[in-house]
Amino acid sequence: MSFGRQLRAAARLDFAEVLRSRWIWFCVATYAILGGVLLTVGVRESSILGFTGTSRVLLSFSHALILVLPLIALMALAPAVQRAREDGSLELLFSQPLSPGAWFLAVCGVRYLALVVPLAGVMVGIGLWGQLVHDDPIPWPYIGRSLAVSASLLLAFAGIGAAISVFVRNPARVITYLVLTWALGVALLDFGLIGLMLKWRLDPHAVFTLAVLNPVEAARLALLSHLQPELSTFGPVGFYLANRVGAGALFAIGVAWPAIVGLGAWTIAYLGFRRSDRI
């Protein structure tokens, strides 16, 4: 059987598993609830950073996603290999003419798409709601940028989750590493970095480097750089970044760096899975 046919067969199997599992419905429900709450609270009358209507809904939605997406991606990928080992699925599958590489690639690809496609649908739905109900033009540029940043952030933590799933066999440890990874990414946002700078008097350049190295912070800066190029929300830090780096470069970093982190982690996981004892 060719690699392509193996890949398609494994993808169909995992897609069926995704539909049967609860995490995909949790993912869809999370997107829908976040979007629904932000639509229901009525954001037309007030403004954040000078944006109202659909733009504000999408802005608030994107900010909420920055914290939620890493956790969802880790939940989708971190237990995948460990659970398949535990229930005997790997032993059964690899007794068939199916290569480990094709199975691993199919599982990661299907679950990544299961995270991205519903998110794209909800964002487009918010834009259509604003146009149909309030006659707001659909902000396609911001939707495109938000999807690019969100997809890159999902890729980063999906790759990290895949690595956890390959190298950690104990189910309790998988959950522990999952939570710690998410907490570390969220903790190294502005308040955590400022706390480090104040407590240990770190050089500001070191703090900015830590901010960029954190995929969550890089994605957040990429989103804000489009709506607020001067980044005044960040105070002196924003002024430094806006003038030294620039909005365009921040967006490029916010998309490219999480993708590099995710692809690097996935490559390590892929090589480790192929070389390790898979059963």
SS (H, E, C) 7-29: HHHHHHHHHHHHHHCCHHHHHHH
The whole-angstrom separation of Cα 255 and Cα 41 is 30
pLDDT average, residue stretch 247-251: 78
Place of tokens 């950690």: 168
The whole-angstrom separation of Cα 101 and Cα 196 is 42
- The reported pLDDT for the residue numbered 123 is 85
- Residue 258, number of CB atoms within 10 A of its CB: 27
Task: Determine contact, residues 207/196, Cβ cutoff 8 Å.
Answer: yes
d(CA 232, CA 62): 18
Tokens 């007794």 -> residue:
95
Rounded Cα gap, residues 202 and 78, in angstroms: 34
- Of residues 212 and 231, which shows the higher confidence score? 212
Question: Rounded to whole angstroms, what are the CA distances from 68 to 158, 211, 260?
Answer: 13, 18, 20
Decide which of 213 and 152 is more confident.
152
The span from the CA of 143 to the CA of 87, in Å, is 40
Whether 48 shows a pLDDT value over 50: the answer reads no
Q: Is the dihedral of CA 93, 94, 96, 102 positive or negative?
A: positive
Domain extent, residue 203, equals: 3-275
Question: Where residue 152 falls among pLDDT bands split at 50, 70, 90?
Answer: very high
pLDDT of residue 16: 85
Per-residue burial over 65-80, b if 16 or more Cβ lie within 10 Å, else e, is bbebbbbbbbbbbbbb
* Count: domains in the chain: 1
What per-residue confidence (pLDDT) applies to 91? 77
Question: If you search the block for the tokens 């995929």, which residue do you land on?
Answer: 215
Predicted pLDDT at 193: 59
> What band does 27 get if pLDDT is binned at 50, 70 and 90?
confident
Instruction: Report pLDDT digits (tens) over 229-241.
Output: 556 555 555 566 6
- In the block, tokens 């970093």 appear at 253
User: Which tokens sit at 34?
Assistant: 């976040």
Place of tokens 């733009």: 55
Query: Is 17 within 8 Å of 107 (Cβ atoms)?
Result: no
Does the pLDDT value for residue 66 go beyond 50? yes
> What's the gap between Cα 223 and its chain centre?
13
Decide which of 151 and 80 is more confident.
151
